[in-house]
Chain A
């Protein structure tokens, strides 16, 4: 049997939600899948109150799964600058005290797989680490990204740094077949799409991520010839 181990955080959470003592859960989990407690509560002989709590937790889990299913069918698609602008406006428009950079990782149909704030700064600047964006992009296996950040002062004009970072991200991501679709700037309840404004940079000076062929035999011949000399 596969030996599944769970950490204390899991046991504590299950205890708090069901009121079953941690020791009892751990004892059952020693050799059994603790999720059996939810599916077949009688295995731990719960009292009426615990049974009620288990039922509630089960209802929560099935409601969550149902909602995820509906969300999947209703995936938010950002296939126009207007949709992307309005989407990020709802997330960043109210942030007046600091600059935040948010990235939407999207699939081939520009449906959002995940969105995340990847940098939070001060009132007039934030620091962007392309490495962090890349890590998330690879994790989500996305086809592209849409980046957005807010100007707490309300201006929509892209700064030189805004253009520079967009270019840098294009140079990093596009050779990896991750398209940088747009960079949306939010100022209060307005947005500016760099794509719509024709400000999205073209790929230049990009790093080369083409697969590298290694000719081992040729390498060995060169090495042997060198050695004989």
Chain B
């Protein structure tokens, strides 16, 4: 049940990030290594530059959300 939910959420995340290339491979990576591993290694993935940029932007927003004081200038 949880596994099914996990798959659905991963698919949803890939759709929201508009990832169309190597979808299956990326789904497997997130499933086995986690979403943070995927986001942290976006630069090394076989994706178009615009997709990588989108992932990195999303990662930046998440990092700032987690940082208690935001990102100091």
Contacts and interface: CB of A to CB of B under 8 A. Distances in A.
Interface of A: 2, 4-10, 12-14, 16-17, 35, 56-57, 59-61, 63-64, 66-68, 70-71, 73-74, 90-91, 115
B69 A67 contact: no
A7 B60 CA distance: 10
A35 B65 contact: yes
A9 B60 contact: yes
A74 B12 contact: no
Contacts of B13: 60, 63-64, 67
Given A61-B62, A70-B9, A4 B70 contact: yes
A5 B54 CA distance: 23
Interface of B: 2-3, 5-6, 9-10, 12-13, 16-17, 30, 32-37, 53-54, 56-58, 60-62, 64-65, 69-73
- List of 6 A-B pairs having minimum Cβ-Cβ separation, nearest first: A13-B57, A13-B60, A4-B70, A60-B16, A7-B71, A67-B9
Contacts of B57: 12-14, 16-17
Given A4-B70, A6-B64, A6-B73, 7 more contacts: A4-B69, A5-B70, A9-B71, A59-B12, A60-B16, A63-B16, A68-B36
Given A5-B73, A7-B71, A17-B54, A63 B61 contact: no
Main secondary structure of the interface of A (DSSP, over half): helix
B73 A7 contact: yes
Given A13-B57, A17-B54, A67-B9, A6 B71 contact: yes
B19 to A, nearest CB: 12
9 contacts: A5-B72, A5-B73, A6-B73, A7-B73, A9-B71, A12-B57, A13-B57, A16-B53, A64-B13
